[in-house]
């Protein structure tokens, strides 16, 4: 567990989430493992990012405080319904997306999508925040609850791009 | 049995429960039967109704709402097929997943779907969902009487005829308004004892 992975956990707990939805991702593994054993947050594995947007929406419509975590290449699978469901129906929800394609990337195809994630989200008019390691872990923990509240007060999905490595 | 006849039976069986409807003709015909705040019409996002239903059924587990009804098409379920696996894995006991199977993409010109060769009910049974199959009105009515008494996630496979109902108006409401009306209704219904 790195300090930044721990900061994500601290930030989500401070945000008062009650459902932790996730699609697998290497940088996310310790965070997923943590919530698997949580006694206060329901951990919900999903098979694909697209359905995650729908399940998160259903939970939010039902009064819950879900968060959905995925790698940023998974946003490619989710972008259609992110626009035509979550954004169009004003369904709030926080999507944490770990960046791939950086200096430690080992996959030679990944960057063809991940390099364009910020531009894709901007084109879809999806509110996006970035947390990089020029900020302290404590700052990450403080900003995640604010990102969640931003989603609630703007009645929109919010994506936070996490630079975990 | 056509789509509208099947949906009328379901509305009668669940007159005060939330209903989430697939895009295209399913949502339009449902709204034409009755434009209700308890309906969440998914105007695009083909296949997502079952995922939204999964989330909503989990969220409402401890509320007065007894059933979350999802009206999917066969093509829509095939487009988001992992949803069937996720529903089977998480088993939200209030979810009723109805698939109105006409073996065609009726909203886009009637192209055949895989269900001309594949049996969706068998696939649902393969992932251990309690499954019912009907292909007639009276059979559907009897089946719904049984389903109302059950407290578990259910897959209801309804075989319907091809085509869409004639002269059904487009559904051109702002999705944000649809969701707001649904959410307001839900808050009232879920808070009732």
pLDDT in tens, A142-165: 999 999 999 999 999 999 999 998
* pLDDT-based confidence at residue B192 (cuts at 50, 70, 90): low
> B88 to chain A: which residues are within 8 Å by CB?
none
Give the bridge partners for B40, in sequence order.
B20
A59 part of contact set with chain B, CB < 8 Å = yes
Say whether pLDDT at B185 is over 60. Answer: yes
CA-nearest of B63, B62, B66, B61 to B19 is B66
Q: Is the pLDDT of residue A85 over 60?
A: yes
Percent of chain B with pLDDT over 70: 98
Residue A71, beta-bridge partner list: A98
Number of domains composing chain B? 1
What pLDDT, on the 0 to 100 scale, is given for residue A137? 97
CB spacing of A62 vs B60 below 8 angstroms: yes
Q: Which residue has the tokens 């996490």?
A: A162
Question: What is the total count of domains within chain A?
Answer: 1
DSSP one-letter string for B111-131: EE-GGGT--HHHHHHHTT-EE
- Determine the structural domain holding residue B82 and report its residue range: 3-191
- Predicted TM-score (pTM) of the model is 0.96
Q: Which of A15-24, A112-121, B105-114 has the lowest mean pLDDT?
A: B105-114
> Minimal Cα–Cα distance from A105 to chain B, Å?
28
Give me the percent of chain A exceeding a pLDDT of 90: 87
Kind and range of the H or E element at A93? Answer: strand A93-98
**Cα A111–Cα A113–Cα A114 angle in degrees, nearest 5:** 60
CATH code where residue B51 lies: 3.40.50.970
For A37-65, write each residue's pLDDT tens digit.
999 999 999 999 999 999 999 999 999 99
Q: Give the pLDDT of residue A38.
A: 94
Mean predicted confidence (pLDDT) in B94-116 = 92
Residue-level pLDDT at A100: 86
Min mean pLDDT across A54-58, A103-107, B50-54, B80-84 is at: A103-107
Which residue among A58, A80, A88 places its CB closest to the CB of B54?
A: A58
Cα–Cα distance, A122 to A45 (Å, whole number): 28
We report the CATH number of the domain holding residue A122 as 3.40.50.970
Average pLDDT over residues B145-159: 97
Query: Is residue B77 within 8 Å of B47, Cβ to Cβ?
Result: yes
Judged by CB atoms closer than 8 Å, whether chains meet at A61 and B56 is answered as: yes
Reply yes or no on whether the pLDDT at B22 is more than 70.
yes
Q: How far apart are CA A56 and CA B58, in angstroms?
A: 10
Is B183 in a helix, a strand, or coil? helix
User: What is the ipTM for the molecules in this complex?
Assistant: 0.96
- Give me chain B's average pLDDT, please: 95
Residue B193 has pLDDT above 70, yes or no: no
| Domain encompassing residue A37 | 3-162
Which residue is closest to A56 within chain B, CA to CA? B55
What pLDDT is stored for residue B71 in this prediction? 98
Identify the residue among B18, B46, B48 best suited for mutation to test binding to A, counting A beta carbons within 10 A and taking the highest: B48
Q: What is the pLDDT of residue B61?
A: 96
Report pLDDT digits (tens) over B75-97.
999 999 999 999 999 999 999 99
Q: What is the pLDDT, as a whole number, of residue B106?
A: 84
Q: pLDDT at position A107, please?
A: 86
Contact at CB, A89 and B44, closer than 8 angstroms: no
Using a 10 angstrom Cβ sphere, with 0-12 exposed, 13-18 middle and 19 or more buried, the burial of residue A160 is buried
């Amino acid at each position: 567990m790195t300090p930044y992975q721990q900061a994500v956990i601290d930030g989500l707990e401070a945000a008062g989430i009650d459902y932790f939805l996730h699609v697998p991702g290497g940088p996310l593994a310790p965070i997923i493992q943590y919530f698997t054993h949580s006694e206060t947050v329901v951990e919900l594995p999903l098979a694909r990012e697209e359905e995650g947007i729908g399940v998160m929406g259903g939970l939010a419509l039902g009064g819950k405080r879900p968060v959905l975590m995925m790698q940023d290449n998974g946003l490619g699978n989710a972008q259609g319904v992110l626009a035509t469901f979550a954004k169009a129906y004003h369904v709030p929800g926080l999507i944490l997306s770990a960046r791939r394609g950086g200096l430690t990337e080992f996959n030679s195809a990944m960057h063809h999508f991940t390099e364009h994630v910020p531009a894709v989200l901007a084109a879809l008019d999806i509110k996006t925040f970035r947390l990089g390691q020029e900020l302290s872990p404590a700052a990450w923990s403080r900003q995640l609850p604010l990102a969640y509240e931003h989603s609630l007060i703007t009645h929109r999905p919010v994506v936070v791009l996490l630079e975990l490595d | 049995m056509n789509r509208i006849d099947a949906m009328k039976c379901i509305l009668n069986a669940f007159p005060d429960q939330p209903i989430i409807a697939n895009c295209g003709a399913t949502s339009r015909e449902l709204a034409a039967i009755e434009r209700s705040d308890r309906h969440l019409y998914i105007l695009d996002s083909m296949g997502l109704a079952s995922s939204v239903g999964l989330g909503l059924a989990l969220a409402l587990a401890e509320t007065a709402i007894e059933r979350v009804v999802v009206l999917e098409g066969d093509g829509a379920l095939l487009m988001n097929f992992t949803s069937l696996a996720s529903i089977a894995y998480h088993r939200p006991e209030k979810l009723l997943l109805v698939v109105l199977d006409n073996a065609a993409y009726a909203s886009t010109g009637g192209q055949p779907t895989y269900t001309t060769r594949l049996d969706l009910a068998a696939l649902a049974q393969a992932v251990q969902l309690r499954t019912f199959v009907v292909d007639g009105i009276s059979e559907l009515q009897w089946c719904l009487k049984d389903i109302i008494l059950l407290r578990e996630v259910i897959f209801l496979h309804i075989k319907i005829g091809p085509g869409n109902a004639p002269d059904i108006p487009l559904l051109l409401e702002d999705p944000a308004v649809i969701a707001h009306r649904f959410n307001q209704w839900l808050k009232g219904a879920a808070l009732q004892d």
